[in-house]
Amino acid sequence: MREATLKEIAHTLGISITTVSKALKNYPDVSEKTRKAVIALAEELHYTPNSFAVNLRTKESKTIGLIIPEVVHHFFSGVVNGIIDEAEKNGYLVIILQSNESLELEKKQVALLLNKRVDGIIMSLSNESNDDAHIKEIIQKGIPFVQFDKISKLIPSSKVIINDQKAAMEAVQHLIDMGCKKIAHIRGLANPQNSIDRFLGYKKALEKNGIPFDSSLVYSCKSITFEQGVEFAQQILEEDKGIDGIFVITDLVAVGLLAHFNEKGIQVPGQIAVIGFSNWLVSQVITPKLSTVDQPSYEMGVAAFNLLLEEMIYRKKGKIFEPKTIELPTSIITRESTLKKIEA
C-alpha cells in the first residue's frame, strides 16, 4: 500500500525527478510528449503529492486555526460554518479549538496553533481575556490574524464585528414605535463588551426619545440561562412597576420571560412586549414567536476568512498589510412578541 512518489514515477519513466515535478505543475520547459507520459503514469499510480514534503518546502500548510469559546452555540456554529465553507473554496482547511471561556485554555490553544505553524488564525476572545500576551505573540510572529465578535480593540489586527450599541438602539426604538412607554432592560454579565454596548444602546434610545432613564428598570443577569429569564419575569410581575416592554440581552433569557408570562396569563405583546437578541432557532418556534435582532453569523465567518486570506496573500508577497475592520449590519426581526396592533 505504498504511496507513489515523484521518484518512483521518474524511475519507471527513465527521467529525472525534476522533470516529473515540472510536468505535473505545467512548467513550460517540458515537452508535450513527456508531459503526457508523466500525467498518464501519475494517474495510473494515483499519485498525490506528499503534503508533508510540500509543507516543508513551501513553508505553508494551507491550514488555518480557529479558536472560539464553544462550538455548541448557535452563533458560533454559524460562524464556523461560514469559515469552513469559505476556507474550503479557497483551498484551505480549518483546525478548530475551543477555549471554553477560559483564559488559560485559550493560551494553550494559541500555543498549539503556533506550534502547528498554521498559515493564519481567526479567533473570538473568551470572556476572561484581559491579559493578551499570547495574542501579541501571534502578531509579533507575523502570523496573519483576524478577530471577530468578542475582540480586543487594543490588538492591531483585522476585525469583524457588529455594532451592538446601534443594534440595541434599534431594538429599543422598535419597542417605542410599538407604543411601549416604560421599557425595562435585562442586561448581560458585567464585563463582556457586548453586554455593555447593548446596555448603552438601550440608554441612548431612551434618551433620543425623551424618555428618562430609570436604573431600577435594568436587571443584571448572573447567568445567561432560561431560568434566569423565568426569575426576572417573576420579579417584574411582583414589582408591578407598569413595565410594558422589555429588551433582553439574548433570546434564551427572553424565552424564559415568555414562559413565565405565559404561565401567569400575561399577554405578550398585549400587556408586555418582549424583544431578544441573536435570533436563536428557538425564537421562531416559541409561542408567541419572539422578535429579535439578527446577527449574521455565517456572513461574519465568511468575512473573517476573507480578511485573513487577504492578509496571507499580502504577507506572502512580502508586502505590509494594513488591518481592516468590517462591521456587518444587524437587522430587527419583528415577530409576534412585539407586534401590538397600532397599525395605521
Partner DNA sequence: TTTTTATTCGAAAACGTTTTCGAAATTACC
Partner DNA sequence: GGTAATTTCGAAAACGTTTTCGAATAAAAA
**In the window 271-310, what residues touch a copy of itself (CB under 8 A)?**
281-282, 284-287
Contact indicator for 153, 183 with CB cutoff of 8 Å = no
Query: 30 phi and psi, to 5 degrees?
Result: -140, 135
**Of the ranges 212-220, 250-258, 270-278, 326-334, which one interacts with a copy of itself (CB under 8 A)?**
250-258
Residue carrying the nine cell digits 437578541: 277
5 binds a copy of itself, rule: CB under 8 A: no
Residue 55 beta carbon to a copy of itself: minimum distance, rounded to whole angstroms: 4
CA distance 334 to 114: 44
Long-range CB pairs of 152-155, under 8 A, 24+ apart, other chains included: 152/125
Q: What is the footprint of a copy of itself within residues 49-88 (CB under 8 A)? A: 49-53, 55-56, 59, 61, 63, 70-74, 77-78, 80-81, 84-85, 88
Residues in binding contact with a copy of itself, number by CB under 8 A? 51
Q: Contact, 219 vs 207, CB < 8 A?
A: no
State the binding partner of 21 from a copy of itself, DNA, none, CB within 5 to 8 A by kind.
Answer: DNA
Binding positions for DNA, rule: CB under 7 A:
3, 5-7, 14-19, 21-22, 24-25, 28-34, 47, 49-50, 52-54, 56-59
d(CA 34, CA 277): 62
Residues in region 187-226 near a copy of itself by CB under 8 A? 226
The CB-of-262 to a copy of itself minimum distance in angstroms stands at 5
Residue 29: name its binding partner from a copy of itself, DNA, none (Cβ under 5 to 8 Å by kind).
Answer: DNA
Q: Which stretch binds a copy of itself (CB under 8 A): 11-19, 47-55, 181-189, 327-335?
A: 47-55
Q: What ranges make up the beta strands (E) of the chain?
A: 63-68, 93-98, 120-123, 145-148, 158-162, 183-187, 218-220, 245-248, 273-275, 292-294, 325-328, 331-333
> Minimum CB separation from DNA for residue 139, in Å?
21
Return the number of the residue (11 or 141) whose C-beta is nearest a copy of itself: 141
| Identity of the residue, 58 or 130, whose beta carbon is nearer to DNA in the bound complex | 58
Within 101-140, which residues bind a copy of itself (CB under 8 A)?
Answer: 112, 114-117, 140
Nearer to DNA, 15 or 237 (CB): 15
- 248 interacts with, out of a copy of itself, DNA, none, CB within 5 to 8 A per kind: none
Nearest Cα residue to 13 out of 31, 34, 29: 34
**C-beta of 55: minimal distance to DNA in Å?**
9
Total Cβ atoms within 10 A of residue 94: 19
- How far is Cα 3 from Cα 50, in angstroms, rounded to an integer? 9
Find how far residue 190's CA is from the centre of its chain.
21
Q: Please report, as ranges, the residues that interact with a copy of itself according to CB under 8 A.
A: 1, 48-53, 55-56, 59, 61, 63, 70-74, 77-78, 80-81, 84-85, 88, 93-98, 112, 114-117, 140-142, 226, 252, 255-256, 259, 262-263, 281-282, 284-287
